[in-house]
Amino acid sequence: MARYEKPDYWTLRAKKEGYPARSVYKLKEADEKFGLLRPGGGVFRVLDLGAAPGSWSLYVLRTLASRFQNGGAFLAAVDLAPLSREYGSHTHGGHEYGKDLFAGDHFFFVQGDMMNQAVRDSLASRGPYDLVISDAAPATTGNRSVDTFRSLELAGTALDYAASFLRQGGSLFVKVFQGGDAPALLKKIREQFSAGKSFKPASCRSESFETYYLGLGKK
Ligand SMILES: C[S@@+](CC[C@H](N)C(=O)[O-])C[C@H]1O[C@@H](n2cnc3c(N)ncnc32)[C@H](O)[C@@H]1O
């Protein structure tokens, strides 16, 4: 087994807690530090870009289900790949979530390209949103400048979704590969939000050059 594939602490913990991927802890850390999933008035609406296999979506659905006792939350998600639907009603590791969180009117998933206009329209029609999260990442080539450029295109698209479909006061949490024009993206976030920050969760692999940008309080 290659070193990169060896299950680590976060992978094993994700398995135990019923998430398909270790990436869930990056969102969890940001939520705990910055209060991203903070119920306000009315239905709390979240848009998850690059959502497969579905750990972030599940974290949002589980967290909002526990914070809003009687619904009041909605999640829309998109990915090129399908979700690992079996985790929606996960029962491994002694956790029993009862119902299928991926089923029902509180959740919408579209399999497609987030840069596609029809996909964008279907997500726009379900907004406006209180929070846009994007873990979208290109299939890496090993060429760092190509990978960084593609990641920036996706992160720029996520900022564009946020600019168009976030409510005033809403937040953005977006993955970006460090390098290239990444600082220019953070500058744009700072122009459009009351606060813009760079945040590298402890659960990111130490050798990874990914980081996350946050926009808090859309102007
Ligand atoms: C790191 S994974 C996301 C993991 C996810 N947050 C989770 O917790 O399960 C990155 C995802 O971005 C998706 N992606 C890349 N480019 C995309 C695009 N143009 N449109 C939609 N999804 C895209 C990939 O298919 C991949 O599933």
* CATH node for 3-218: 3.40.50.150
Ligand 1 atom closest to residue 20's alpha carbon, by position in its atom list: 9
Contact call for residues 213 and 162 (beta carbons, < 8 A): no
* Structure tokens belonging to residue 219: 């102007």
Instruction: pLDDT band for 91, please (50, 70, 90 cuts).
Output: low
Average the pLDDT over each of 79-93, 107-121, 158-172 and give the range with the smallest value. 79-93
Ligand 1 atom closest to residue 48's alpha carbon, by position in its atom list: 6
Say how far apart CA 3 and CA 89 lie, in whole Å: 31
Sheet containing 73-79, strands listed edge to edge, beginning at the edge strand earlier in sequence: 107-111, 73-79, 44-49, 129-134, 166-177, 210-218, 193-199
Q: Is the pLDDT of residue 93 over 70?
A: no
Q: Which of 36, 80, 85, when mutated, tests ligand 1's pocket best, judged by the most ligand atoms within 8 Å of its CB?
A: 80
Confidence at residue 96, expressed as pLDDT on a 0 to 100 scale: 54
Confidence at residue 98, expressed as pLDDT on a 0 to 100 scale: 58
163 Cβ closer than 6 Å to some ligand 1 atom: no
147 Cβ closer than 6 Å to some ligand 1 atom: no
80 Cβ closer than 6 Å to some ligand 1 atom: yes
59 Cβ closer than 6 Å to some ligand 1 atom: no
Whole-model pTM: value is: 0.94
Using DSSP bridges, classify how beta strands 193-199 and 129-134 pair: parallel, antiparallel or unpaired: unpaired
Confidence at residue 60, expressed as pLDDT on a 0 to 100 scale: 94
Q: How remote is the CA of residue 53 from the centroid of ligand 1, in Å?
A: 8
Confidence at residue 42, expressed as pLDDT on a 0 to 100 scale: 74
Confidence at residue 104, expressed as pLDDT on a 0 to 100 scale: 87
Average the pLDDT over each of 51-55, 68-72, 89-93 and give the range with the smallest value. 89-93
Identify the burial level of 201 via C-beta atoms within 10 angstroms of its C-beta, where 0-12 means exposed, 13-18 middle and 19 or more buried: middle
Residues involved in catalysis: 175
Task: State pLDDT tens for residues 101-156.
Answer: 898 889 999 999 999 999 999 999 999 999 999 999 999 998 999 999 999 999 99
* Structure tokens belonging to residue 83: 């979700």
Mean pLDDT along residues 177-205: 94
